[in-house]
Amino acid sequence: MTYAIDLWTAPALPIAGTSELFPVRRVFCVGRNYVEHQKEMGGDGREQPFFFIKSAHALVPQGGSVHYPPKTANYHYETEMVVAIARRGRRIAARNANEHIFGYAVGLDMTRRDLQQIGKDKGRPWDFGKDFDEAAPCGALAPAARIGHPAKGAIWLTVNGKERQRADLADMIWSVPEQIEYLSQYYTLEPGDLIFSGTPAGVGPVNPGDQLHAGIDGVGELKVTIAPPL
């Protein structure tokens, strides 16, 4: 059998230090996973985090030029550590979660904040606020076999050279193993799945021409320039 239209290539991330690619299946994202970010979004800092999903086709591997998206006037960055799953599992205990992880990267959970707010106000899905073209720039994966499993260390972002976000991975409400334990009760996690593990405080708007530089100590860095709308 052949396909009636051209088959697209799998979304994939480069693996740092190799010529191999990591094919991406699904992109899970945890919301409100840092206390100070909960507070800046209007919460009391005591909420349980939760998940939403972006299309794997929203990935922008290794960043670069990302177009200002349509239908928004409040386009935000969120700097996050991205976790790549390489081994299938369901109902994974947190103590075993690291065995399912291939590696880690720096990602940006780009957000149309105004459209997300409409979703919140009306009790509608967040998709238009979170899942759109080029909404998930992501750097190269650093294999856990090389860097281990980072549970602390600085996560930061500058915009045009000014620091906008700085926190520590240890400030997550749900650690990465706890996220995997929770998520794998609802889904069978599969090789190729990614988890965006939440943003610290300091989120804010960007505009065409802005230069974003994100990093996580021991994991990597990611550079994005906001291009004019298509």
Nearer to Mn ion, 30 or 189 (CB): 30
Contact call for residue 109 and Mn ion (CB under 5 A):
yes
d(CA 78, CA 110): 6
Binding residue for Mn ion, selected from 199, 200, 203, 220, defined by CB under 5 A: 199
Give me the least distance between CB of 169 and Mn ion, in Å please. 14
Residue nearest to Mn ion (CB): 109
Give me the least distance between CB of 31 and Mn ion, in Å please. 6
* Kind of pairing between the strands at 220-227 and 64-67: parallel
Nearest to 214, CA basis, from 78, 83, 84: 78
Give me the least distance between CB of 33 and Mn ion, in Å please. 8
CB atoms near residue 9 (< 10 Å): 8
Contacting Mn ion within 51-80 (CB under 5 A): 78
Nearer to Mn ion, 51 or 187 (CB): 51
Give me the least distance between CB of 109 and Mn ion, in Å please. 3
CB atoms near residue 84 (< 10 Å): 24
Nearer to Mn ion, 89 or 137 (CB): 137
Contact call for residue 38 and Mn ion (CB under 5 A):
no
Instruction: Give the residue carrying structure tokens 């909404």.
Output: 135
Q: State whether residue 155 is helix, strand or coil.
A: strand
Q: Which two tokens stand for residue 137?
A: 């720039």
Choose the binding region for Mn ion from 55-63, 67-75, 138-146, 195-203 (rule: CB under 5 A).
195-203
| 134 Ramachandran zone, left/alpha/beta (phi>0; psi -120 to 50) | left
Q: State whether residue 186 is helix, strand or coil.
A: helix
Nearer to Mn ion, 15 or 27 (CB): 27
Nearer to Mn ion, 39 or 88 (CB): 39
* Kind of pairing between the strands at 59-61 and 136-138: parallel
Nearer to Mn ion, 11 or 198 (CB): 198
Which residues contact Mn ion (rule: CB under 5 A)?
Answer: 78, 109, 199
